[in-house]
Amino acid sequence: MRQGVSTLSLCLILIAAIVGCGGSSGYKNSAGTLTSTNLATGSSSPAPGTTTTPGASSGSTGGSSAGSTTPTNPPAPPPVPATPSDGSTQVVISSPVEGASVGSPAQVSAGVVGPTAISSIQLYVDNAMSFQADSSQINTALQLPAGTHTMVAQAWDQNGNVYKSAPVHVMVQGSAAPSAPPAPVPAAPAPAPAANAAQIQTQPGWDNCDVCAGAAGNGPNTAHAMVEGVSSPSLSGAAARFDIGGTPWGAALFWRELGSHDEAQNLKYDLDFYLDSVSSGQALEFDVNQTTGGSKYIFGTECDFRGSGTWRVWNAPGATWVSTGVGCAAPSAGAWHHLTWEFQRSGGQTHFVAVTLDGNRHDVGMNFGAIGQGGSGLDVAFQADLTGSGGNQSVWLDNVSLSW
């Protein structure tokens, strides 16, 4: 292990930003050959101070709407408190108040008070995100089950700083039984299915490279391969195995382009992974990349288990990894692990909303700017990195999906 330096990489953006990528997300040059430009700052490179680029915000949002009993004109939200006298920025849930008993749908109002420019605000109910707005205010009606619930509002400014409200505890009362059967309501049309790319590990057309996965797109040659349709170990019966080995600080990047999806804004990258051993591993990287509207949005993440022991995310303008402070120890070998990353593309920035590993969800609340690049495309990526001792490692991915 290197002393104090852990670099991983994703090989996507530098060359792609120069040649434009046409309709793809930029892993190949205009001649169709793999570039030697990396996607992420490689934690596996021994050269101190070098950087590479990954793919990197955030997550799925779900705006709830009022039910059929909601009045035509919802009640006006309570006034938001004035700016604090100390000049600080605060997030306040103004309705309902602490300890209130409410019906369902419940009218919820929250806002940010203070001098800071806010880019987005989200409402969490019982630690699950229930509503999001690209502004500093929320005024919505939420359908909630009967019982006690905890609400928290969280906002981000344009520099990625996060602000949270005090929790508000409410009691949602069950609906009284109607005295007479309600009048039949015409059936609403079925909602359109959510856009979703499922079982991506079984799809043909995966690309890969090793040199481009190193620091500054110039890593060592590393033996690597991908084998699809693996029945064991597997959860679905068709996992994919990714093999790398031999080279100290070696790494290999694998990615699958999904085509143009400019409408995708709230992204959820969901998969299961399995390792044969962690003795030779430095880190594991899971990324989503989107090119749209002249910008490249890099949702780059890595479990830096051999270095910082935390989840790190990619700051594209700064070309560097940033620790989230969320711990990520070496995953146990010989067992399946379930991972979900929630991202959001909003206001020209990549928002890293939350990470869930083996059922433990952690809010991240970090965001960074996009970088300039033409073209249109969406892809998912995976990278495995070796320690300075080299060795061999195999990682299986299963049930790989991207929804938006």
- How does pLDDT run across 334-359, given as a tens digit for each residue? 999 999 999 999 999 999 999 999 99
Please give the Cα distance from 55 to 296 (Å, whole number): 9
Token pair, residue 115, equals: 């001098």
Instruction: Return the percentage of the chain with pLDDT > 70, whole number.
Output: 73
Residue 293 has pLDDT above 80, yes or no: yes
Alpha carbon distances (Å) from 2 to 140, 190, 322:
51, 55, 18
- Tell me how far apart the alpha carbons of residues 98 and 105 are, in angstroms, rounded to a whole number: 17
Give ranges for CATH 2.60.40.10 in the chain.
90-172
- Specify the CATH number of the domain 15-59+195-403: 2.60.120.260
CATH pick for 90-172 out of 2.60.40.10, 2.70.50.30, 1.10.3720.10, 3.90.330.10: 2.60.40.10
Residue 135 has pLDDT above 70, yes or no: yes
Query: What does the buried/exposed string (b/e) look like for 206-245 if buried means 16 or more CB atoms within 10 Å of the residue's CB?
Result: bbbbbbbbbbbbbbbebebebeeebeeebeeeebbbbbbb
pLDDT of residue 66: 37
Decide: 377 and 22 in contact? Cβ < 8 Å: no
- A 10 A CB-CB count for 363 gives 21
Q: Is 391 exposed, middle or buried (0-12, 13-18, 19+ CB in 10 A)?
A: middle
Give the mean pLDDT of 361-380. Answer: 96
Q: How far apart are CA 368 and CA 130, in angstroms?
A: 23
Q: Which residue has the higher pLDDT, 143 or 324?
A: 324
pLDDT digits (tens, 9 = 90+) for 40-53: 333 333 332 333 44
The DSSP secondary-structure symbol of 82 reads P
Structure tokens given for 117: 């420019």
Per-residue model confidence (pLDDT) at position 58: 33
pLDDT band at 373 (very low <50, low <70, confident <90, very high): very high
Backbone angles phi, psi at 23, to 5 degrees: -100, 10
Count Cβ atoms within 10 A of the Cβ of residue 129 and give its class: 0-12 exposed, 13-18 middle, 19 or more buried.
Answer: buried
**If we measure between CA atoms, which residue out of 303, 286, 307, 278 comes closest to residue 391?**
278
Is the pLDDT at 314 greater than 50? The verdict is yes
What is the percent of the chain with per-residue pLDDT over 90, rounded to a whole number? 58
pLDDT for 309 beyond 50: yes
Q: What is the dihedral of CA 304, 242, 240, 362, to 10 degrees?
A: 0
Instruction: Check whether 63 has a pLDDT greater than 50.
Output: no
Q: How far apart are CA 154 and CA 352, in angstroms?
A: 13
pLDDT (mean) for 310-317: 97
Question: Hunting for tokens 């110039």 — which residue is that?
Answer: 218
Where are the domain boundaries for CATH 2.60.120.260 in the chain? Answer: 15-59+195-403
| pLDDT score of 155 | 83
Residues 6+ apart with CB under 8 A from 18: none
**Two structure tokens written together for 318:** 């700064």
pLDDT higher at 133 or 250: 250
pLDDT-based confidence at 215, cuts 50/70/90? confident
Output the pLDDT for position 150.
Answer: 93
- Greater model confidence, 39 or 347: 347
3-class SS letters over 44-74: ECCCCCCCCECCCCECCCCCCCCCCCCCCCC
**Strand runs labelled E in 232-390:** 239-245, 251-257, 266-275, 281-292, 295-304, 310-315, 320-327, 336-346, 349-357, 360-369, 371-372, 377-386
- CA 268 from chain center: how many Å? 6
